[in-house]
Amino acid sequence: MMLRVALGLIGVWCSLNCFADLRPQSVVQICTVLNDTQLRAGEWTIHQDGQEGCTSGSRPIKPDSLDGNKISFAVEGAEGAPNRVKLILNVILRSDEDAAKRELIRATKRLSVRALGLSIPHTFDEAIMKGAPIGLDVGSGRAILTRTVINKQTYVLSVVME
């Protein structure tokens, strides 16, 4: 009986160590982690003011709507090491709001698994759909959702993982 418990604990410990291997280990990996969602962050850049990182351009949620809702991806870091990743959703058209939020959930789930080692919980998905701020510990870090109102029609949802 004790042997089964010991083997079970060893199995759990090994499984948790496997999650750590999913996190990008280099700036090249983290900048390309969302290429499969057409959020290509480009090259790691060191700016004159000392800030470092990479960023994607804004991608329309619907390819046929260039002036609609857009999503982008950015990585920030210091001394050649990433320490924060962000997904930014600009909601301009309320008529396409749900599709935009679903796209943010899809990208957030992928980024969470790849950057933190675990998928975000369902409560985080619900917070995105409601546009309600939330902060949760996930895997090896923390995921935070914020909402910034620009005007009556426009707002920004930001997902930050550290």
Q: What is the pLDDT of residues 125-141, one digit of tens each?
A: 999 999 999 999 998 89
Which one has a higher pLDDT value, 149 or 68? Answer: 149
CA distances from 89 to 23, 44, 46, 121, 125 (A): 23, 22, 25, 19, 14
Could you please report the per-residue DSSP string of 97-160? HHHHHHHHHHHHHHHHHHHHSSPPPHHHHHHHHHT--EEEEETTEEEEEEEEE-SSS-EEEEEE
Total structural domains in the chain?
A: 1
Q: What is the pLDDT of residues 98-113, one digit of tens each?
A: 999 999 999 999 999 9
Q: What is the pLDDT of residues 46-96, one digit of tens each?
A: 888 888 888 988 888 887 776 789 999 999 988 888 889 999 999 998 888
Helix, strand or coil, per DSSP, at residue 24: coil
Give the residues across from 78 on adjacent strands: 81
Report d(CA 30, CA 27) in Å as an integer: 5
Place of tokens 């990585």: 75
Domain that holds residue 127: 2-161
* Lowest pLDDT segment from 5-19, 77-91, 139-153: 5-19
pLDDT of residue 103: 93
Which one has a higher pLDDT value, 19 or 156? Answer: 156
